[in-house]
Amino acid sequence: MDISVILSAAIAVGYTFVGGLYAVAYTDVVQLFCIFIGLWVCIPAAIWEDKTADISQNASAWLGEIGGFREKSLWIDSMLLLIFGGIPWQVYFQRVLSSKTSAGAQKLSFIAGVGCILMAIPPALIGAIARNTDWRLTEYSPWRNGTKSATIPPDQTNMVVPLVFQYLTPKWVSFIGFNVRTQYLEAYY
């Protein structure tokens, strides 16, 4: 793991030195494209898995509902973060403020808004697939002691996308997906 991190950092520093900020911008575009394609490759592979029920049959079950005061507060906090921004918005403002014209900055903002909506579709579908999967039929053991569960435990729901890639897709799809997920995590966290 240490060697991978050092090698990734050396490559990133190298292409930044050679290509400047254009290299960073082009790399961001390539990463987003790879993430989008990788997530969409996962969906048909996971949805056609025999362990997964038809997601259109019980949409009310996978939509869920917002719980008590704590959950509603977290939703409100997330909405306010999307409206007013947060630390990750530094990247957005860096791109907008580096635009040559205000019209270019405005176009970039609209394209980014549409892109965010499009990028939200695959994870939502993957979540629906995970919700409609009988996890007892997979190799997934949430407590790592051989005990299986029909659903993903609430404390592990943040791992839905990697779990779907690992347990509901063929190896070649999970290879693409895990590489994409790694790029996604490097890009945004």
Average model confidence (pLDDT) for the chain? 82
Per-residue pLDDT at 35: 84
Q: What angle in degrees, to the nearest 10, is found between the helix axes of 102-131 and 2-47?
A: 70
Residue 135 confidence class, pLDDT cut points 50, 70, 90 = very high
Per-residue pLDDT at 101: 92
Q: Domain residue spans in the chain?
A: 2-54+87-188
What mean pLDDT comes out for the span 156-183? Answer: 79
Instruction: Please state, in angstroms and rounded to a whole number, the distance separating the CA atoms of residues 49 and 45.
Output: 7
* pTM: predicted TM-score of the whole model, two decimal places: 0.71
